[in-house]
Every structure is written in C-alpha cells, then in structure tokens.
Amino acid sequence: MTQPSTLFDKLWSDHVILERPDGTALLWVDRHFVHEGSHHAFAKLDDRGLPLAQPDLTTGIADHYVPVRSSVTPMREIAYMLDTLQRNAKTHRFRLFGQGDRRQGIVHVAGPEQGLTLPGTLVVCGDSHTATHGALGAYGFGIGATEVAHVLATQTVWQHRPRSMRLRIDGTLGPGVGAKDIALNWIARLGSDAGHDHAIEYAGSAVQSLSMEGRMTLCNLTIEGGARTGMVAPDETTFAWLKGRPYAPSGDDWDQALERWAALCSDADAVFDREERLEAADIAPVVTWGTSPEDALPITATLPDPGAVAEPSRAKRITAALDYMGLTPGRPLAGTPVDQVFIGSCTNARIEDLRAAASVLAGRTAKVPGLVSPGSQAVKIQAEQEGLDRIFEAAGLEWASAGCSMCVGMNGDRVAPGKRCASTTNRNFRGRQGPGARTHLMSPAMVAAAAVTGTLADVRPLLQGRAA
C-alpha cells in the first residue's frame, strides 16, 4: 500500500531528480522569476559563456527598483539595473514584463495573475517572499544569488527537505479581520522562528473561505514565521481564479490539468511533523509594535512592559524595540500618532486589498499623507476602472504605479528617520523602510483607518454601515 502523503510530500516527490545520502535533493524548477537584482547571476553565466537552460521557463519582472511615481526620475544606478534586466532578457531570450509593460508588477503579484504560477509547480525567485505562490498549491521558495545562477544554467536547484507542519484555522473571521490578521496573529503567538525548517500547509474552514488574494497574503507572510514555504491545497476557488489567465492551460489542456490538480491535497490520514490550531473567532485586527513581525498585538491591547517579563533576554529585546519605535510600555496601541501611511507590496496590493482600503476611505479625508502603489499594472487598471484611484486621491493619498516601492525603499520611496508609518508591508525590521524608519504592519483596512484618524486605530467602528 502507498504511504499516505501530505501535499508537500507530493510536491517534493514530483520534482526530485536525485537525492544525496545527506537528504538534500536536486529538484526540477518549473518556474523561475528574475528581477533587477538578479544581474549578478546573469554575470556569472556570461563569465562562463553559459546559455540559459530553459528560457521559456524564465520570466523577468521589473519590481524592486522600478519608480512608481512619474514625478520621480530614477537614479543612475537604478536606471542601469533596469536597462541590464532588459539587455539580459534580449540576450538570453526570456519573457520580460519590464517598465512600461501592461503585465509589469511585483513578481509575486504579476506572476500568479498572469497564470504562470500553477498548482503543482515548483517556483523559485531571488526573493524571500516567493512562498506567496504556494497559495495556488505550488511549492514556492526564495533562493540566493548563487542558486539563481545555478537555476539559470541548469533549471534545477539543490534543497534540503524541510519538515511538514499543518496550521489549521477554523471558524468564521469577524468584521474587519482578514488574512493579514491571521498571519500576524499566528506569528505573534508561535514566534518568528516557529516555522523554522518547515513547510507549512494552511488548512481549516477559515482558510478555505479566503479568496485567492487572502491566501496569497497568508502564504506571503509564512517566511516571517521562519518557515521555508507556505501552501494551500488548490480547490474550486483556485481553479475559478486561474481559468482564463493568459498563461494558464486552456481547452482540453485545462480539463486534463484540473484532473491532476484535484489530487493535490494531503491524504486524510497523512501525518505531519507538527500540527497547530487557531480559532478564527479569537483573531482581532492586529498591529505590530516592535521591530519583528512577531511583535504584534490586537489593536485593543496595551504595549508590553519589559519590567513584567521574567526572561532577561526577552525583556531586553522588548526594551530595545520600544526604544527604537519611540513607544512607552503599558500605553494603549490605539491612539498612537502616525506620520504617514503606505498601501502596497507583494503582501497587500491586490485588487481585494485596494477595495478594502477604499471602503474605509470613501467619503473621508486622510489626516496624514500616504502613498498607494498597486501590486501590478493589471491591478492598477482594474482599480481605476472601479474608481478606487479617485477614492484614494479624494482622501488625499497619492495614487502611484506598480512596484515594490516603500516596502523596501530600493527605488527611493522611503520613510524619513524617526517618522512613523502605518504600512501594509511584510517586514518592520529596523531601517526596512529607510534608516530610522518606524514601521507598523497591519491590513489595508487598518492602514486606511490610520490614515483617516492620524493614529493607530481599530477599523471596525469605521466599517459600520459599509461593505467590509
């Protein structure tokens, strides 16, 4: 009899070419995304005179450095990187969604929406948040510069097999609570290293009820919990979202693909190395207060007091985080003034995210400045067709183009030293949004609430009488 398998077991075994005695395996790569930062890997190929192994399985997307505001002229170094990506695409004959292309966007938004990421595929990119693609039942993970070069040359990658973990979230989410809150909640409860050396499968009724946008947010943040990757078994929600996408199968190929994809789920009696459970009803809108995604609390909570923490090392870390963030122990999170807001990133810049923020901002005026950068040009076009851009601009926020923008600050969009930003991004590390920047992570709706109140605020009262 065949041993019961998890979804991850199936994805792993489908891509193993050979295994070493130490447990590492050479895996076939179905999709390789590259961006401006991949130029080092292409230089390695050029130095050795090597061709690209599979140009048709490689897609270049300009996202990290690309300017998102027409009023900003890119610095010489940024322009050079964008030009280099274009030259590499021409030389090595791979598809490119470059600056000015209607398909351009953040790689983890544009790739899936074009139908390049499919259930059962192994997806890699030189970016840690490649776990996002697991929302479609794929095995997605980030790789380093040396590995990028290896994939370019061989279409394979060496990997140590992670352990398996299933995280079940059951029940119904309350008003104003979404995938971002689920993710920050579990990371805060279990710790930023809880998923170390694990592939996490998200399951349970609350996960199954999420849209594809929500599932991608959840998988995107898996890396912030220390895991190697995150995934959700594909279902009717997945199939409906993928049907008709430019690079998705069609006709008879679609029907055959559905048969294969339907088998991509964990067997009923499959055994995981670790199991965790959460109740959706226990999750409230969440805001980070410190310098790690695990430094997160419900908006109704008070800031931690290091004096009440018995473990010296943790007390010291809390003190350092509060000092950096300019916060006082024991004070309520709600009411903390913010200087600006940012809505964007591969975590929360899809159409559903923009709609959620707009539902709060409609008819209201922001008390602080802010930037809204959609996750792709396709999302930008759809948002403008729905009039969301007009809502953002009427509220006083700047409507920009697609790119990573203020998430990582590589294109010049930054938070000034000492300034506090309510942000939909994925990391609140020191200096992530600029030297000395103070970042509070939260959902798009919560960022909108911060914009109209000028403080960290509970979005739920602002949603009363409005579509969530």
pLDDT digits (tens, 9 = 90+) for 115-167: 999 999 999 999 999 999 999 999 999 999 999 999 999 999 999 999 999 99
State yes or no: pLDDT of 468 exceeds 60. Answer: no
The pLDDT confidence band at residue 23, using thresholds 50, 70 and 90, is confident
Average pLDDT over residues 364-382: 98
pLDDT at 78: 82
The pLDDT confidence band at residue 467, using thresholds 50, 70 and 90, is low
Query: What is the number of other CB atoms lying within 10 angstroms of the CB of residue 47?
Result: 9
State yes or no: pLDDT of 182 exceeds 90. Answer: yes
The pLDDT confidence band at residue 75, using thresholds 50, 70 and 90, is confident
State yes or no: pLDDT of 1 exceeds 70. Answer: no
State yes or no: pLDDT of 73 exceeds 90. Answer: no
Query: What is the number of other CB atoms lying within 10 angstroms of the CB of residue 365?
Result: 11
326-to-141, 164, 302, 387, 418 alpha-carbon distances in Å: 34, 39, 15, 37, 8
Pairing of strands 95-97, 122-125: unpaired
Q: In the chain, what are the domains?
A: 7-163+226-262 (3.30.499.10), 286-463 (3.30.499.10)
Across 258-417, the runs of DSSP E, i.e. the strands, are 274-279, 286-288, 296-298, 340-343, 370-372, 398-399
* Torsion sign (Cα): 247, 356, 216, 432: positive
Which tokens go with 31?
A: 């999709």
**pLDDT per position as a tens digit, 81-101:** 899 999 999 999 999 999 899
Helices 377-386 and 388-395: crossing angle, nearest 10°?
A: 80
Which stretch of DSSP H or E encloses residue 28? strand 24-28
Helices 351-361 and 377-386: crossing angle, nearest 10°?
A: 40
| 360 SS3 class | helix
The pLDDT confidence band at residue 465, using thresholds 50, 70 and 90, is confident
Spatial CB neighbours of 91, under 8 Å, sequence gap ≥ 6:
none
| 203 SS3 class | strand
State yes or no: pLDDT of 12 exceeds 90. Answer: yes
Query: What gap in Å lies between CA 221 and CA 418, rounded to an integer?
Result: 25
Residue linked to tokens 């579509």: 467
User: Contact at 8 Å (CB) between 98 and 62?
Assistant: yes
pLDDT at 79: 84
pLDDT at 72: 64
State yes or no: pLDDT of 321 exceeds 60. Answer: yes
Rounded to two decimals, the pTM is 0.96
DSSP 331: S
> What average pLDDT is seen over the chain?
96
Query: What gap in Å lies between CA 134 and CA 412, rounded to an integer?
Result: 30
Residue linked to tokens 């459970």: 277
State yes or no: pLDDT of 70 exceeds 80. Answer: no
Average pLDDT over residues 13-38: 95
Average pLDDT over residues 161-179: 97
DSSP 78: H
Which tokens go with 230?
A: 């995150």
State yes or no: pLDDT of 466 exceeds 90. Answer: no
The pLDDT confidence band at residue 345, using thresholds 50, 70 and 90, is very high
Residue linked to tokens 């809880």: 194
Tell which residue, 118, 129, 125, 134, has the closest CA to residue 157: 125
Q: What percent of the chain lies above the pLDDT cut of 90?
A: 93
Which tokens go with 408?
A: 């990582």
pLDDT at 74: 64
pLDDT at 212: 98
**pLDDT per position as a tens digit, 258-308:** 999 999 999 999 999 999 999 999 999 999 999 999 999 999 999 999 999
